[in-house]
Amino acid sequence: MFIETAKLAWRAISRNILRSFLTVLGVVIGVAAVIAMVTIGNGTTAQVKTELQRLGTNTLFVRPGQWGPGRASTEAKRFDDKDVEAIRDQVSGLRAVAPINRGTATVVAGGQNHSTSAIGTTNDYLIAQDWDLVSGREFLPAEERGQAACIIGETLRKELFGSADPVGETIRVSNVSCPVVGLLAAKGQSGMGDDQDDTVLMPLKLHQRRIGGTTTISSIILSAHDGVSTSGVQSDVESLLRERRRIGIGREDDFSVNDMSQIASTMTGTTMLLTGLLGAVAAVSLLVGGIGIMNIMLVSVTERTREIGIRLAIGALENQVLMQFLVEAVMLSIFGGVTGILMGLLLAYGVVSVLGVPFVTSPSIIFVAFAFSAAIGMIFGYFPARRAAQLNPIEALRHE
Amino acid sequence: MQAPLIEFRQVSKFYGRGEATIRALDHVDLLISQGEFVSIMGPSGSGKSTCMNVIGGLDVPSSGEYLFQGMPTSGFDRTQLTLLRRHMLGFVFQGFNLLARTSAVENVELPLTYRGMDARERRTRAMAALEQVGLKGRENHTTQELSGGQQQRVAIARAIVTDPAVLLADEPTGNLDTRTSTEIMHLITRLNNERGITVIMVTHEEDIAAYGRRLLRFVDGRLTSDEVGRKEAEIVH
């Protein structure tokens, strides 16, 4: 009996395939939005997790200003050499303290030029970031004091030198001529999607003087020894900096010390806000989709009044007519759901490939989307189906 | 003694209320036995269709009692009335009322489907019914591909496929030309004679009514005449 009902429903749907498709478009869009969103979100989360594992949890980032969504860090006072020395001398358990200044610079070599991220730092940066050299060496002490030298990333090498070894060549970074002394191992994209290999490292002093035109430091990366508590280090650094920056008791810090997991959770928070918004859009779309199904089922019941009358007259029970229309509505919305799931996955796959994050499907959300679309058909199909079942057979048979 | 197949005890059916009340059936008493062929005539609005609807369980009396095989139906709910139709009655309508875009055999199978019969047995019985109404070989024609007379034959096959006790025919020849009407009436008469199906037929044509062995006439909701044994010789040829 159920197979008969399903066949009947399929026949009714396929008889007017375009109308059926337009009817379920709302459900398609809603489900596709949910699936795409969750799949992309999963990919980003997976990427951040991988990054965290690679960097380890013993890395801390020190920046001026409070760091987080919607907060500008530019107004707070920047750090200087003395802050870095103070941290190095007074905080125990650190294996690297790397001051960082970032800037964008055009790099020229042998007729090729390329715009890249120029980072002024010290050898500690390589330790803190676990970054190996595939060729050449670190900065020499003389270079750390300001002599021209640079270490380049894999992307920059490809742009400027192709596959040749760049060590020993000379490049111009902005207007600074400096010999390449090392080549970084390739790292690929970061969790935020930028190319970490598109960079040139320079001694901090050189960067400050020739690129930044400053004596300050914009941020500091700390790396604790294995087994040292980062929260202990974090509070040590915080109290040291509060003292050095003369922040009175009860006043808010004008700097922040975060470890990777805190930064990741901030990022996740932003993602979740976005997910919530898109989820609301999807919910509205599903509601509209459900009403669309109800509407077209009501039209269908009116169109087929005579048919319903015949069925009732020759011995169809109310429940059998109810089931017929309910199954039709559920089948419609399930088609919408399945189409939505496929479209959502396709969309997510596209976005994920562009972002360069992994494609992580979640069977549970696919199941939920499927069940939800079936439920929509059931809820919004019930009213029209009941109307069909309760028709008076005499009047229904007279209907033209 | 066996109870009569159909019995009306003072059955009335009113529509509307107050001054505007229409008495579609006005205290009708009626007995119909197994195997009869009853024609019902009357001008439009005389109550003949309402009488038919009440017998068919499509409508319920406002007062009085309708007994089917001696069983009072006044307490029946919609489901019980449906089951009465499903198991005891077969309907043939003036407008054929077949499902569009559906093959003849599928139309005939429909009442069996609602009984939950399995597909193979359904097909066998539907084919047999179609053969009985002379449509062997046209099983897979859809409704649109059949002539009016053929459509009415499919409808009759659909009505008898369940082996009902009563065949209710509401103006079965109303949409057909004279020659086709004669064919359909011969078919209905044959079913009545050979299978013993009780036939109750509403019509407004005297010569069609004459196929029945008993003629009821309704005027203003009242049963005004009940004649038996008319023209029987002519029908048998």
The pLDDT of residue B237 is 41
Tell me whether 0.85 is exceeded by the ipTM.
yes
Task: Find all residues with CB under 8 Å of A305, minimum gap 6, and list them.
Answer: A391, A396, A399
pLDDT band for position A259 (cuts 50, 70, 90): confident
Contacts across the A-B interface (CB distance below 8 Å): 52
The pLDDT of residue A57 is 67
pLDDT, one tens digit per residue, over A39-90 is 888 888 787 777 776 666 688 888 888 755 555 545 678 888 888 889 888 8
Query: Is residue B231 pLDDT above 60, yes or no?
Result: no
Which of B86, B100, B101 is opposite residue A315, by nearest beta carbon? B86
Pairing of strands A133-136, A176-184: antiparallel
The pLDDT of residue A269 is 72
Mean pLDDT of A19-38: 89
Q: Residue B167: in which H helix or E strand, if any?
A: strand B166-170
Task: Find all residues with CB under 8 Å of A53, minimum gap 6, and list them.
Answer: none
Q: Which chain A residues have a beta carbon less than 8 Å from that of B142?
A: none
Picking from A31-35, A210-214, B62-66, which range would have the lowest pLDDT averaged per residue? A210-214
CB contact under 8 A, A313 and B56: yes
B interface with A, Cβ–Cβ < 8 A, is: 53, 56, 58-59, 78-79, 82-83, 85-87, 91, 93, 97-101, 110-111, 113-116, 158-159, 162
Q: Is A6 on the interface with B (CB under 8 A)?
A: no
Query: Is residue B49 pLDDT above 80, yes or no?
Result: yes
At A182, give phi and psi (nearest 5°): -155, 160
Higher pLDDT pick, A194 / B173: B173
Q: What residue spans of B116-224 are helical by DSSP H?
A: 119-132, 148-160, 178-195, 206-209
Q: Is A272 on the interface with B (CB under 8 A)?
A: no
Distance, CA of B112 to CA of A153 (rounded, Å): 78
The pLDDT of residue B233 is 43
Distance from CA of A30 to the nearest CA of B (A): 34
The pLDDT of residue B236 is 43
Query: Is residue B1 pLDDT above 60, yes or no?
Result: no
Mean pLDDT of A377-390: 94
Q: Which chain B residues have a beta carbon less than 8 Å from that of A310?
A: 97-99
Q: Backbone dihedral region of A269: left (phi > 0), alpha (psi from -120 to 50 degrees) or beta?
A: alpha
pLDDT band for position A335 (cuts 50, 70, 90): very high
Mean pLDDT of A142-149: 88
Q: Which chain B residues have a beta carbon less than 8 Å from that of A309?
A: 97
Distance, CA of A379 to CA of A386 (rounded, Å): 11
CB contact under 8 A, A4 and B115: no
What percentage of chain B has pLDDT greater than the value 90? 78
Q: Which chain B residues have a beta carbon less than 8 Å from that of A313?
A: 56, 58, 85, 91, 97
Distance, CA of B137 to CA of A108 (rounded, Å): 88
The pLDDT of residue A324 is 92
CB-facing half-sphere around the CA of B106: CA atoms within 13 A: 13
pLDDT, one tens digit per residue, over A302-330 is 999 999 999 999 989 999 999 999 999 99
Which of A314, A317, A394 is opposite residue B110, by nearest beta carbon? A314
**Buried residues in A23-62 as b, exposed as e (16+ CB within 10 A):** bbbbbbbbbbbbbbbbbbbbbbbebbeeebeebeebbbbb
pLDDT, one tens digit per residue, over B69-102 is 999 999 899 999 999 999 999 999 988 999 988 9
Query: Is residue A110 pLDDT above 50, yes or no?
Result: yes
CB contact under 8 A, B162 and A315: yes
At A392, give phi and psi (nearest 5°): -80, 120
Q: What residue spans of A16-128 are helical by DSSP H?
A: 17-55, 81-90, 124-128
Distance, CA of A376 to CA of A63 (rounded, Å): 50
Coil, helix or strand at residue A74: coil
* Sign, CA torsion A313/A316/A318/A321: negative
Residues listed for chain B: 237
The pLDDT of residue A146 is 84
With contact defined as beta carbons under 8 Å apart, do A198 and A117 qualify?
yes
CB contact under 8 A, A309 and B79: no
